[in-house]
Amino acid sequence: MNSENHPENHSGNHSGNHSGNHSGNHSGKHSGDADSTAKKTAFYKQPIVIIFVLFIAGFFLVQQYATQMLSDEPLVISKAGPPEIIMYSTQSCPYCVITKAFFEKHNLPYTEYDIELSEKSLKMFYLLGGRGTPLVIINKEIIHGFDEKQMRKAL
């Protein structure tokens, strides 16, 4: 009987050409086993890449969303002279991005201190009662978080 003309029953999938008679079960490793181990290792590395890509995409979406979230109402500065604006922030804070977009939309000059990069800024942040970012000071009025209504009032 020619083994090429008559397929045999096997338990499991095998790739490649087989010749000769086989008896169902095989023990031992196949050359494909090393490839499947490498693929498993690669699979476990992919979630980190996916998470990183999603984080970057989310950051850019927040930046785009920030300008849509801001009011189109014209800004009226009620105090004499340019306002003094200080903001304590972090690089990963989405509300900090929105706050900066507010300042830039209305051409307001501000000074930003990143509390993750400066120990001195972090200490000052806590002295001012900082609980979360952004912490904004407009003309000596402290505003916790992004609050457009309160920032407009302070200006």
**pLDDT confidence of residue 51:** 75
**pLDDT confidence of residue 34:** 52
Give, for all 155 residues of the chain, the pLDDT tens digit.
444 444 444 444 444 444 444 444 444 455 555 555 555 555 556 777 777 777 777 766 666 665 566 766 766 676 777 889 999 999 988 899 899 989 998 889 999 999 999 999 999 999 999 999 999 999 999 999 999 999 999 98
* Closest residue by Cα to residue 151 from 112, 103, 105, 114: 103
Characterize the bridge pairing of strands 141-144 and 85-89.
unpaired
Tell me which H or E stretch contains 40. helix 31-69
- pLDDT tens, position by position, 105-149: 888 999 999 999 999 999 999 999 999 999 999 999 999 999 999
Distance of alpha carbon 14 from alpha carbon 65, whole angstroms: 52
**pLDDT confidence of residue 80:** 73
- Indicate yes or no: pTM above 0.75: no
Spacing of C-alpha 106 from chain mean position = 27
The tokens describing 105, both together, are: 């939309």
Residue 29: left (phi > 0), alpha (psi -120 to 50), or beta? beta
Characterize the bridge pairing of strands 111-114 and 85-89.
parallel
**pLDDT confidence of residue 48:** 74
**pLDDT confidence of residue 49:** 72
**pLDDT confidence of residue 44:** 54
Distance of alpha carbon 67 from alpha carbon 73, whole angstroms: 13
For the chain, domains (ranges, CATH) are 85-154 (3.40.30.10)
Beta-carbon count within 10 A of 107 CB: 7
Distance of alpha carbon 13 from alpha carbon 11, whole angstroms: 7
**pLDDT confidence of residue 130:** 93
Does the bond joining 7 to the residue before it have cis omega, within 30 degrees of 0?
no
**pLDDT confidence of residue 92:** 87
